[in-house]
């Protein structure tokens, strides 16, 4: 093999969700993270959605039309989310050029952002003002963490469903269930639908569990509940290490 070919060969592999148990479970863990972060941020930061950015658009429009004002965090969340997506994609391209798959770095980056989110919220004290600069900065770290997660599911873990957009997942799941139940569908269509449904339902359940756990913990200990998704993000990093080693296909 020539030196040029060696340089272009990925040093690691982008795993398929079927390649190992950790790769199969990783989207579910990411869904629990997204659900818990979304619920905790919404309850603790004055209605800020960190994963469900569409919700911030709705809240922003409602405030502007109904009350003529809106909180700063929901206003900033959309451009911050878009910018974080763009920067994460550029980072993925840079990693590909030097021969590294992006799953491990993205999981680590998400962990660091969530830890920063947690630390800032704890440092602000138990009575955090959602419009205070430290609260806004903390919320943007949470939004950025979810942007990284959305990107890694798209380009770093092949075959995974969305881990934060449950409207799409539920719609896809019900369409696939319908295809499986329709006996006149071709066998290959039914097989693909069954496979997608089996991948999608754990993400839906995981997000719902994350929302419940996040809301319960936030009610009990406030924004210190962000330790839950941060801890799960650490678990995701460990799972990603094994999933990458166990194989897949080149990024």
Express each pLDDT in 30-64 by its tens digit: 999 999 999 999 999 988 899 888 887 787 777 77
Region 14-19 average pLDDT: 59
Q: What residues does each domain of the chain span?
A: 9-164+214-245
Region 144-159 average pLDDT: 91
State residue 16 phi and psi, 5-degree precision. Answer: -85, 150
The Cα-based distances of 22 to 30, 92, 107, 237 in angstroms read 12, 22, 14, 11
Q: Work out the percent of the chain whose per-residue pLDDT is above 70.
A: 86
Question: What is the reported pTM?
Answer: 0.86
* pLDDT for position 24: 83
The Cα-based distances of 100 to 85, 105, 182, 183 in angstroms read 19, 9, 43, 44
Q: Tell me the average pLDDT of the chain.
A: 85
* pLDDT for position 6: 46
* pLDDT for position 52: 82
Q: Work out the percent of the chain whose per-residue pLDDT is above 90.
A: 49
């Amino acid at each position: 093999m020539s030196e040029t070919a060696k340089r272009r060969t990925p040093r690691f592999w982008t795993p398929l969700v079927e390649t190992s148990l950790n790769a199969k479970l990783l989207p579910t863990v990411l869904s629990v993270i997204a659900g818990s972060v979304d619920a905790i941020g919404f309850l603790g930061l004055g209605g800020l959605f960190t994963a469900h950015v569409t919700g911030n658009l709705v809240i922003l429009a409602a405030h502007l039309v109904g009350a003529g004002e809106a909180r700063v965090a929901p206003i900033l969340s959309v451009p911050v989310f878009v910018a974080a997506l763009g920067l994460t994609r550029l980072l993925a391209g840079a990693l590909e050029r030097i021969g590294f798959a992006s799953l491990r770095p993205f999981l680590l980056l998400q962990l660091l952002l969530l830890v920063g989110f947690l630390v800032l919220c704890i440092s602000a004290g138990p009575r955090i003002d959602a419009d205070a600069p430290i609260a806004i900065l903390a919320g943007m770290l949470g939004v950025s963490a979810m942007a990284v997660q959305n990107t890694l599911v798209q380009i770093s873990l092949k075959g995974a469903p969305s881990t934060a957009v449950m409207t799409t997942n539920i719609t896809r799941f019900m369409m696939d269930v319908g295809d499986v139940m329709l006996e006149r569908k071709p066998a290959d269509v039914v097989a693909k639908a069954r496979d997608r449904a089996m991948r999608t339902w754990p993400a839906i359940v995981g997000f719902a569990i994350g929302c419940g756990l996040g809301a319960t913990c936030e009610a009990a200990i406030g924004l210190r509940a962000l330790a839950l998704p941060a801890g799960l993000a650490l678990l995701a990093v460990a799972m990603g290490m094994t999933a990458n080693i166990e194989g897949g296909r080149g990024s």
